[in-house]
Amino acid sequence: MALAKESSPVSPRSGVDQEAEYRAQTRLWLRLLACATLIEGELRRRFREEFDFTMPRFDVLAQLDREPSGLVLGELPKRLMVSAGNLTPIVDRLVEDGFITRTPSNLDRRVQIVCMTVEGRKAFRRMAKSHGSWLAELLAGFPADRLDALTGELDALKGAVKDAMQKP
């Protein structure tokens, strides 16, 4: 029988392979995090410099841009994967700046409906265009014919992680 660093009654893998898999998983996670941090930091910096705008605020506008009739406020935390309390000051500021409106629903006075204004939509389009070209600039060095394959692998990864999180 092969050497095993740890007894592993459940898994059929040997301890050595298990350790190797651990390392491969850690490497993957560190690379993933490094890529995301690198790109996100650069995009944030440019948003700030060019438009004096932040990414969370842009993300809110991006969601509302797809919903001409507005969105129930409670829908935003779900779509953006952030906590609800977090959105209050962000929405506050977007209203203050005139990019969106927030009106209570007549049917359920707990509910708020947020909707982009004309100026908000105009500002969003301008920023979205820049966002796209910045991304293209940053990813230009990566072969175009491997983009979809990588996206597919990340999709598989995302699915696997979601499953793992939902099960227990």
Partner DNA sequence: ACATTTTATTTTAAGTATAGAACATATCCC
Partner DNA sequence: GGGATATGTTCTATACTTAAAATAAAATGT
> Going residue by residue from 41 to 80, which x/- string records binding to DNA, judged by CB under 7 A?
x---x--x-----x-xx--------------xxx------
The CB density around residue 42, as the number of other CB atoms within 10 Å, is 14
Among DNA, a second copy, none, the one that 91 touches (CB under a kind-dependent 5 to 8 A) is: DNA
Q: Does 85 bind DNA (CB under 7 A)?
A: yes
Which one of DNA, a second copy, none is in contact with 42 (Cβ closer than 5 to 8 A by kind)? a second copy
Opening angle at CA 80, ends 78 and 111, nearest 5: 50
> Got the DSSP string for 60-105?
HHHHHHT-TT-EETTHHHHHHTS-HHHHHHHHHHHHHTTSEEEEE-
How far apart are the C-alpha atoms of 51 and 105, rounded to whole Å? 32
Q: Which does 112 bind (CB under 5 to 8 A by kind): DNA, a second copy, none?
A: DNA
Size of residue set near DNA by CB under 7 A: 27
Cβ neighbours around 97 below 10 Å, total: 14
Task: Give the residue with the Cβ less far from a second copy, 72 or 139.
Answer: 139
The answer to the question of residue 8 lying near a second copy (CB under 8 A) is no
Footprint on this chain of a second copy (rule: CB under 8 A) = 21-22, 24-29, 31-42, 81, 132, 135-142, 144, 146-151, 153-165
